[in-house]
Amino acid sequence: FEVMKVPTTPFEGQKPGTSGLRKKVKVFVQPHYLQNFVQATFNALTPEKVKGATLVVSGDGRYFSKDAVQIIIKMSAANGVRRVWVGQNGLLSTPAVSAVIRERVGADGSKATGAFILTASHNPGGPNEDFGIKYNMENGGPAPEALTDKIFENTKTIKEYLIADELREVDISTIGVTNFSGPDGPFDVEVFDSASDYVKLMKSIFDFELIRKLLSSPKFTFCYDALHGVAGAYANRIFVEELGAQQSSLLNCTPKEDFGGGHPDPNLTYAKELVERMGLGKSNSGVEPPEFGAAADGDADRNMILGKRFFVTPSDSVAIIAANAVGAIPYFSSGLKGVARSMPTSAALDVVAKSLNLKFFEVPTGWKFFGNLMDAGQCSICGEESFGTGSDHIREKDGIWAVLAWLSILAYKNKDNINGDKLLTVEDIVRQHWATYGRHYYTRYDYENVDAGGAKDLMANMVKMMSSLDEVNTIVKGARSDVSKVVNTDEFEYKDPVDGSVSKHQGIRFLFEDGSRLVFRLSGTGSEGATIRLYIEQYEKDPSKIGRDSQEALAPLVSP
């Protein structure tokens, strides 16, 4: 093949957000738009690093992915990349990409040096919805801010990109290697099975035999909803083939380009079918709900855990996994190195860390901040309130891992009574946890698609207001007399303990005397306008008060 230099001009707004560049498909399909971003990334990585590289290119299979894979293959060839690895049909979950970078060894002994992940995660897909792209590094984790800043700078000055335009399209539906020959030597594209490497990794972490026993217990029933995202490509292999769950326990497990028209976000609002099935919906079908239910987002890095008629908050979930990991999960048998959560996530994990005497870290929102801690051997388990949970087995959050972690805890706690009359349930485990550690009532409000300028002004006004605690308390007390006093306000700032880098303006916090907390921050994953998030939390240690409905418990903090 030959290398073409294509002249181009910059596009505005190609700034990677919390997790890559996300825009409407209509924006991405403009001529040169994707190409500019990919070339800006190659340039940021520097030609020396790109030449001879082994790149993984795949994603959640959303609309425009297949075209994007071919474009990136052609640009990789032209930029001197040695080989590109593609999951069959362009499908790889975000956690699987991370696993492939870290674990997969090519037939010739090659290892991946990085990846383009094609996803807009939990955002809807289809011709009128979102597409996204992000770059992951050699450790399997998202590019750090230093690199994404450089990529953004490059997008503002880009003048040309390199592409092997005539390269014939690679059939990504068939496993195998395609060889090409370019000016710098050979270039290969290898299409491989999307699930094998990931399944192998999961089997090395968990006791599959133990989980299998739980799933075959007559008292245990299971349900998994992939919301038509890429998790479906793994659910069948893991839950049905490896662990013996029934095929009928899988909902929406065929990956679709538009996620069946739905919003592939695993929460009580969007995972409607699962929520109904678990007995948490409005209709009462009369059918007894399963004991355990879970869902994933489009790229399968998020998870929602449900028990029968019971919702586990993500902040509780990570705390409970951390409290039970040693013992229940073989990977952690020699203990936890430390734990971490994102700032807006509730302090349930802090209490566990304190009681188990574990190293603890609070980082800004976004998984990229956990990577350094993990690489430095300081953190084993971490999580975010936004349905993200994971560990240092990879450098992304991992939806299926979280489900396997919960199944492991259930299997372990029930192991001596697995065929008995009554199993310990998800709800039992959560209530026992609250009884031991206290309960963090928690909720989050999202004000979506508001005017971007207005949202910025609102945040700026709040920063101004913060300078006077008296003024803040007058407003708070004026609204509700039954909440405690604000004793501190700040804008969260993080200094990475490993590389010393500083991230500022990560959210505005109002900390109350009784440990309650209000946090405001602007979302960094939307594709249009702005989204303001408000996180509300209240700690209750009194065992007689831990069983309340969370909306009711939080009402004083929520209602003006």
> Please, what is the minimum distance in Å from the beta carbon of residue 180 to ligand VG1?
32
Please name the residues in contact with 378: beta carbons below 8 A apart, sequence gap of 6 or more.
Answer: 337, 338, 359, 361, 497, 498
Pair 226, 250: CB distance under 8 Å: yes
Binding mask 316-345 for ligand VG1 (x = CB under 6 A): --------------------------x---
The neighbour count for residue 6, using CB atoms within 10 Å, is: 16
Nearest-CA neighbor of 521 among 504, 529, 509?
A: 509
> Cα separation of 265 and 497, whole Å?
32
The answer to the question of residue 389 lying near ligand VG1 (CB under 6 A) is no
> Cα separation of 436 and 451, whole Å?
44
C-alpha dihedral over 109, 115, 121, 127, to 10 degrees? -110
Helices (H) and strands (E) in the chain, counts: 18, 25
76, 121, 249, 527: the active-site residue: 121
The answer to the question of residue 367 lying near ligand VG1 (CB under 6 A) is yes
Residues 4-23 binding ligand VG1 (CB under 6 A) are 18-19
Q: Which C-beta is closer to ligand VG1: that of 293 or that of 388?
A: 388
- Return the range that interacts with Co ion (CB under 5 A); candidates 106-114, 167-175, 265-273, 298-306: 298-306
> Please, what is the minimum distance in Å from the beta carbon of residue 365 to ligand VG1?
5
Q: Which C-beta is closer to ligand VG1: that of 122 or that of 413?
A: 122
Binding mask 100-139 for ligand VG1 (x = CB under 6 A): ---------------------xx-----------------
Residue 173 known to be catalytic? no
Residues 505-524 binding ligand VG1 (CB under 6 A) are 523-524
Separation of CA 493 from chain center: 22
Q: Which C-beta is closer to Co ion: that of 397 or that of 433?
A: 397
Binds ligand VG1 (CB under 6 A): choice among 533, 537, 554, 557: 533
- Return the range that interacts with ligand VG1 (CB under 6 A); candidates 267-275, 325-333, 361-369, 496-504: 361-369
Question: By three-state DSSP, how is residue 378 classified?
Answer: coil
What tokens does 387 get? 């349905």
Q: In three state form, how does the secondary structure of 487-533 look?
A: EEEEECCEECCCCCCEECCCCEEEEECCCCEEEEEECCCCCCCEEEE
> Please, what is the minimum distance in Å from the beta carbon of residue 90 to ligand VG1?
18
Question: By three-state DSSP, how is residue 194 classified?
Answer: coil
Residues 241-300 binding ligand VG1 (CB under 6 A) are 297
Dihedrals phi, psi of 459, to nearest 5 degrees: -65, -40
H helix or E strand, kind and range, residue 461: helix 452-466
Strand residues in 339-454 grouped as ranges (E): 339-342, 360-363, 381-384, 388-391, 439-450
Question: By three-state DSSP, how is residue 311 classified?
Answer: strand
The answer to the question of residue 129 lying near Co ion (CB under 5 A) is no
> Please, what is the minimum distance in Å from the beta carbon of residue 516 to ligand VG1?
20
Binds Co ion (CB under 5 A): choice among 297, 316, 384, 392: 297
- How many residues bind Co ion, per CB under 5 A? 5
Q: Which residues of 532-547 are buried (b: 16+ CB within 10 A; e: fewer)?
A: bbebbbbbbeeeeebe
> Please, what is the minimum distance in Å from the beta carbon of residue 156 to ligand VG1?
22
Binding mask 301-320 for ligand VG1 (x = CB under 6 A): xx------------------
What is the DSSP code (8-state) at residue 142? B
Q: Which C-beta is closer to Co ion: that of 299 or that of 350?
A: 299
Residue 266 binding partner per list ligand VG1, Co ion, none, with a CB distance cut-off of 5 to 8 Å that depends on partner kind = none
> Cα separation of 308 and 11, whole Å?
49
Kindly list the residues in this chain that would bind Co ion in the complex (CB under 5 A): 121, 297, 299, 301-302
Catalytic residues: 121
Kindly list the residues in this chain that would bind ligand VG1 in the complex (CB under 6 A): 18-19, 121-122, 297, 301-302, 342, 365-367, 384, 386, 388, 523-525, 533
